[in-house]
């Protein structure tokens, strides 16, 4: 069985990191896999190629949405797929989803993984949103696409917005390679560390984190916040840090190839997102025995067991983030209990082995017309 995965680029976001781990597992279990990146931005290319996984790029740079560029991308992808003749084309994220439906041979089965809530589904008063959602739904229906959502929340929202028949739509949770993460027993510290991992976009809630930190330092003056990632609002966040007087309390650590050392040194993970499909960073933190304070949105409600592996707080509520974090920093027994429970929860529900096995099963079902 030959499966080609199509993605816009292969950076270090949640969907991309899941894909790298998934391809490695599938390759080791006898599935012939390959990756096609629309962009030449493939920093994780070496990791895949070292495991014998072919990586193809379409040589694209800059904006992908100009009509002329879209036509060129379509032709390049079509030539590649017709020459390689995969059994399945598996796309990730909006543009690859649409392109795969126009470019793939009719003999190919198509799968789309929905990694999170798409804002186009809800902005129904804007013509662009209506148009993009309609195109997604129409092309998916015409090409008989099968869908995989990373959480029940995403499945429910996507099913409603894109009118996906339930029998064509499965849930497969994101998974992490638990063995790669060392379980760390946290000790009480006078200089505790809170960590947040993710791209610097407004919906990731960094502004909420900074307001929460400004409250938390009043009761825990030694606390610091380490922000891992980068993105378009970094300068805005740096200004907010200065305005709140947190320059000595916030570390902009940038993009990290390996976040495990940072997780091991931290005491709490913050994930105050406005929306989240499931949250790879959340699962990795729990695998490290790190308690989590996250917003009660999307798939985070499925990843975090409130009061057992972490705390779920209302969206945008900096006071709740600070209060829950203070409880964890003050009560080492509670923090350790959450950490132990979190590790067990990931091992039981969110292991990469289980995720890869379910994807493999779905491929076999699709090719054999059982799905």
Residue with tokens 């909006």: 94
Q: What is the pLDDT of residues 190-244, one digit of tens each?
A: 899 999 999 999 999 999 999 999 999 999 999 999 999 999 999 999 999 999 9
Residue 231 DSSP class = -
Residue ranges of E strands in the chain: 2-7, 32-39, 55-60, 88-92, 109-114, 146-149, 169-171, 193-197, 224-228, 250-254, 268-271, 292-295, 310-313
Mean pLDDT rounded to a whole number for the chain: 93
All domains of the chain, ordered by start, with CATH?
Answer: 2-175+351-367 (3.40.50.2000), 178-349 (3.40.50.2000)
Predicted confidence at residue 63, as pLDDT, reads 60
Name 86's Cβ contacts closer than 8 Å, sequence gap at least 6. 2, 3, 4, 34, 108
Whose CA is closest to 223, among 184, 189, 257, 186?
189
Backbone angles phi, psi at 280, to 5 degrees: -60, -40
Q: What is the bridge-based pairing of β-strands 224-228 and 193-197? A: parallel
What stretches in the chain show pLDDT beneath 50? none
Predicted confidence at residue 357, as pLDDT, reads 94
pTM of the model: 0.91
Q: What is the pLDDT of residues 233-282, one digit of tens each?
A: 999 999 999 999 999 999 999 999 889 999 999 999 999 999 999 999 99
Predicted confidence at residue 64, as pLDDT, reads 53
Partners of 268 in beta bridges: 194
Predicted confidence at residue 122, as pLDDT, reads 60
């Amino acid at each position: 069985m030959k499966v080609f995965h199509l993605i816009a680029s292969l950076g270090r976001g949640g969907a991309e990191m899941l894909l790298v781990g998934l391809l490695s597992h599938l390759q080791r279990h006898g599935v012939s896999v390959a990756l096609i990146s629309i962009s030449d931005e493939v920093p994780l290319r070496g990791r895949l190629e070292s495991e014998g996984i072919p990586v193809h790029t379409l040589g694209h740079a800059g904006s992908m949405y100009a009509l002329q560029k879209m036509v060129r991308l379509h032709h390049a992808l079509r030539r590649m797929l017709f020459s390689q003749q995969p059994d399945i084309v598996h796309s990730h994220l909006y543009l690859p989803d649409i392109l795969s439906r126009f470019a793939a041979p009719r003999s190919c089965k198509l799968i789309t993984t929905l990694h999170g809530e798409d804002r186009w589904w809800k902005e129904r008063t804007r013509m662009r949103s209506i148009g993009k959602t309609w195109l997604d739904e129409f092309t998916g229906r015409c090409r008989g696409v099968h869908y995989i959502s990373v959480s029940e929340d995403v499945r429910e929202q996507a099913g409603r917005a894109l009118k996906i028949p339930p029998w064509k739509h499965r849930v497969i949770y994101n998974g992490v390679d638990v063995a790669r993460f060392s379980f760390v027993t946290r000790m009480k510290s006078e200089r505790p560390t809170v960590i947040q991992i993710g791209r610097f976009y407004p919906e990731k809630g960094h502004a909420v984190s900074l307001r929460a930190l400004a409250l938390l330092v009043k009761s825990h003056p030694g606390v610091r916040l380490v922000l891992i990632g980068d993105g378009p609002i970094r300068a805005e966040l740096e200004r907010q840090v200065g305005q709140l007087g947190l320059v000595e309390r916030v570390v902009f650590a940038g993009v990290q190839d390996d976040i495990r050392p940072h997780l091991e040194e931290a005491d709490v993970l913050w994930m105050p997102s406005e929306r989240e499909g499931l949250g790879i960073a959340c699962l990795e933190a729990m695998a490290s025995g790190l308690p989590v304070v996250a917003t009660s949105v999307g798939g985070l409600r499925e990843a975090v067991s409130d009061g057992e592996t972490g705390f779920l707080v209302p969206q945008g509520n900096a006071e709740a983030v600070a209060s829950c974090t203070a409880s964890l920093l003050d009560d080492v027994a509670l923090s350790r209990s959450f950490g132990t429970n979190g590790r067990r929860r990931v091992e039981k529900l969110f292991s990469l082995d289980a995720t890869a096995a379910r994807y493999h099963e779905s491929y076999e079902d699709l090719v054999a017309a059982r799905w």
